[in-house]
Amino acid sequence: MITKKMSKKDNTPEEEIKNDQETTQVEENQEIEAEIVEEEPTPEELIQAEKDKFLRLFAEFENYKKRTTKERIELFKTAGQEVMTSLLPVIDDFERALSHIEEDKEAEELRKGVLLIYNKFYNTLEQKGLSKVETKAGDVFDAEIHEAITQIPAPSEDLKGKVIDCVEKGYKLGDKIIRYPKVVIGQ
């Protein structure tokens, strides 16, 4: 049997391109195989990678537990916020009633009864975490604590930028302010 050896000159241009592509593909495959062999991790590296993965997962879980515990505690502290907020106008009405009854000297027994009910009601709310935000005339205005409803010319130079009058009292539930005191400030 006689085999004819073909030289590059006997190939057609299409065959030469095909042969070049096959040669290039074989060379690329060999390079990739060489890279794969070089990049294969050792058992120690695999163990370290799994250990790192485990530690990250553990830390993430611990952070999740701390965050949910903190959120739960905060929820319990302010669970009654909506109820407390709805009861604040009742406290305001009691205080207005007491101030008007004080002016009427004939209604002393009525004043004592209303005062007794008010104190009992307010003490019950205090036991549940409600407290007043103390604001008085002459305090420095703080936008974090006060809500300015208007500004008026200061009666004296030392009252500029300070609270002149408290129109509506503010209240806190625990550490959170649920109603800011409404104040008039000097200009």
CATH number, residue 135: 2.30.22.10
Examine the domain organization and report whether 67 and 116 are in the same domain: no
Examine the domain organization and report whether 118 and 94 are in the same domain: yes
pLDDT band per the 50, 70, 90 thresholds, residue 105? confident
Q: What is the pLDDT of residue 138?
A: 84
Reduced to 3 states (helix: H, G, I; strand: E, B; else coil), residue 157 is helix
Q: What is the pLDDT of residue 3?
A: 47
DSSP H helical segments within 8-167, as ranges? 13-39, 43-77, 81-103, 108-127
pLDDT band per the 50, 70, 90 thresholds, residue 19? low
Q: Which amino acid is at 48?
A: Q
- Whether the pLDDT of residue 176 is over 80: the answer is yes
Q: 61-74 pLDDT, tens per residue?
A: 999 999 999 999 88
CA atoms in the 13 A half-sphere facing the CB of 155 = 6
With contact defined as beta carbons under 8 Å apart, do 164 and 185 qualify? yes
Phi, psi of 18 (to 5 degrees): -65, -45
**The domain boundary residue, chosen from 77, 99, 120:** 77
Examine the domain organization and report whether 82 and 64 are in the same domain: no
The residue segments making up the domain with residue 60 are 42-77
DSSP H helical segments within 128-176, as ranges? none
Q: Is residue 157 part of a domain?
A: yes
With contact defined as beta carbons under 8 Å apart, do 135 and 147 qualify? no
130 class by beta-carbon count within 10 Å (0-12 exposed, 13-18 middle, 19+ buried): buried
Q: 106-165 pLDDT, tens per residue?
A: 888 888 889 999 999 999 999 988 999 999 888 888 889 999 999 998 888 888 888 999
**Is this structure's pTM higher than 0.85?**
no
96 class by beta-carbon count within 10 Å (0-12 exposed, 13-18 middle, 19+ buried): exposed
CA gap 185, 154 in Å, rounded? 8
Residue positions counted in the chain: 187
**The domain boundary residue, chosen from 34, 58, 77:** 77
pLDDT band per the 50, 70, 90 thresholds, residue 34? low
Residue 163's DSSP bridge partners are 185
Examine the domain organization and report whether 96 and 176 are in the same domain: yes
Q: 45-56 pLDDT, tens per residue?
A: 889 999 999 999
